Amino acid sequence: MIQSKAHPGRHRHALCLLALCAAATCSAASWAADVRVMCYQDGNECDVTAELAKRFEAKNPGTKIIVDKVPYKTVVEQLPVQLASGQGPDIARVTEIGGLAKYYLDIGPYVQDRNYWEKNFGNTLSWMRTSAGDKGIYGLMSQLTVTGPYVNKTLFEQANVPLPGPKATWDDWVAATRKVAKATQLEASMAWDRSGHRFAGPAISYGAKLFNASGDLVIDDGYKAIVQKFVGWNKDGTMSKEVWAGAGGSAYRDGFEDFKNGRIVMYLSGSWQIRRMSSQIGKNFDWIVVPNPCGPAACSGMPGGAAFVALKGSKSPKEAGRFLDFLAQEDVYAEMMAKTENLPAHQGLVQKGVNYTSAPEIKAALAVFSTDIPRLSPLAYRLQGYQYNRSLMFPTVTRVTQAIVGEMSVNDAMTRLSSDMAESVRQAKK
């Protein structure tokens, strides 16, 4: 066997390096690694992350976590451009979770316990994966959101109408809010955000399957059933017609102002509105969150949220992965949820509960949304993680609005919706 001989110059160089290292009392700190985190915040998420990062740095000498606070617009508009050019941070906080998946770094090799991640974050890990067979771990949900209704409790009390119970149907709530609106002389009793995402929860509850056997989006009888009801509620005055009929195309519009000003009794939006409710409504009236109403098939809202994802261009992949693993640990994650007043995506904490120290109305609202998490349909998680979900959500808004204003029948709207959806997916796959 022929053995290669080490080059004597290389040998001397290696000995010099070892001597220098010893002279400098070589340690892990000699190879400092920076991990840059691009972070936007709805409230204080970046501030809390930076605070937790100090604890991680203390346990990991030589690693520096730099949290760069940026406007949300930067994440939406500039981050994709940076990633496409091979640039960008080590970690970013994103809401367009599936749309950027091709840029994500698999941190699986750097986490302490893959089973822990799968057990506690399994419902949302798939949102960051590129295919059904992908088993990578790419990031951590820093905020789980849940869609659900807000109710003006003061109006119910003034009208002397009892609140429907936790298993009430949408029909039960429509009947109750109509009574309240009539007694308090309101023109409408309810509003849903003008959003296909908000529409999806009731659609699933009414039996929409959303996907066919091949895994493609489909409009079925369950979807048509909730469209029929929703159009009818807009036409008979139950819904605040201006929210959906007051905008064109697939443009988003929320119903917050109607609710804030006491013009409606019930408002379907989501957990991200809690702080806004508390700060802008104040003591004007008592508002509460109630569980998602039921349909024949489920009592489901829609999940969503923001995630810290690791990125392939990272110059410190190991450190980035270990930092996300640190944030994912139950005690740290629970602290992060409590301090940011967000809902946990951690299944263990969903069961145990988070010890929020918020204002009473915020704490009560978070408690209801938390209890609704286990009621979310698996279909809701599947749709949220589906790469082409906007191909259903955007044309839903357009076509349902056209049925509301009388431009076409519900049957024609559903035919057009199905065609729009299929074409949108085809274009997206090109």
Q: How far is 187 from 266, CA to CA, in rounded Å?
A: 13
pLDDT tier for residue 387 given thresholds of 50, 70 and 90: confident
The mean per-residue pLDDT over the stretch 329-348 comes to 97
How many CB atoms are located within 10 Å of the residue 62 CB? 13
pTM here is 0.88
* 229-259 pLDDT tens trace: 999 999 999 999 899 999 889 999 999 999 9
Contacts of 100 (CB under 8 A, 6+ apart): 79, 80, 83, 94, 309
| Token couple for 14 | 């290696």
370 pLDDT higher than 70: yes
Q: Hey, what are 73's tokens?
A: 């617009």
Six-digit token string for 235: 């036409």
What are the pLDDT digits (tens) for 97-124?
A: 988 999 999 999 999 999 999 999 999 9
- Checking if the pLDDT of 264 tops 50, the result is yes
**pLDDT interval class at 277 (50, 70, 90):** very high
pLDDT of residue 267: 98
Rg (CA), the chain: 25
pLDDT classification of 429: cutoffs 50, 70, 90: confident
The backbone torsions φ and ψ at residue 302, rounded to the nearest 5 degrees and listed phi first, read -120, 135
Cβ atoms of 111 and 117 closer than 8 Å: yes
pLDDT tens-digit readout, 308-324? 999 999 999 999 999 99
Q: What is the pLDDT of residue 51?
A: 98
Q: pLDDT band at residue 10, thresholds of 50, 70 and 90?
A: very low
**Taking a C-beta distance cutoff of 8 angstroms, is the pair 107, 321 a contact?**
yes
| Amino acid residing at 139 | G
Q: How confident is the model at residue 382 (pLDDT cuts 50, 70, 90)?
A: very high
* CA–CA dist 368, 365 (Å, integer): 5
Q: Does residue 4 carry a pLDDT above 50? A: no
Residue 160 φ then ψ, to 5°: 60, 40
- Could you write out the DSSP letters of every residue in 48-110? HHHHHHHHHHHHSTTEEEEEEE--HHIIIIIHHHHHHTT---SEEEES-TTTTGGGB---GGG
Is 10 or 275 the better-scoring residue by pLDDT? Answer: 275
pLDDT at 404 over 60: yes
Measured in whole angstroms, the distance separating CA 397 from the mean position of its chain's CA atoms is 20
Grade residue 25 by pLDDT with cuts at 50, 70 and 90.
very low
Say yes or no to pLDDT of 6 above 90: no
Q: Which residues pair with 150 in a beta bridge?
A: 267, 289
| Cβ-proximal residues to 373 (8 Å cutoff; 6+ apart), any chain | 144, 146, 303, 343, 350
Per DSSP, the residues of 288-343 read EE-PPPB-SS-----EEEEEEEEBTT-S-HHHHHHHHHHHHSHHHHHHHHHHHT-B
Helix (H) or strand (E) holding 74: none
Alpha carbons within 13 angstroms on the beta-carbon side of residue 330 total 13
% of the chain residues with pLDDT over 70: 93
Q: How many residues does the chain have?
A: 430
- Interval 225-229 mean pLDDT: 98
**Tokens 């109509």 label which residue?**
178
Per DSSP bridges, beta strands 303-310 and 139-152 are antiparallel
**The two structure tokens encoding residue 385:** 């993680």
Confidence (pLDDT) at 22: 41
**What integer best gives the mean pLDDT of the chain?**
92
Please say if the pLDDT value at position 94 is more than 80: yes
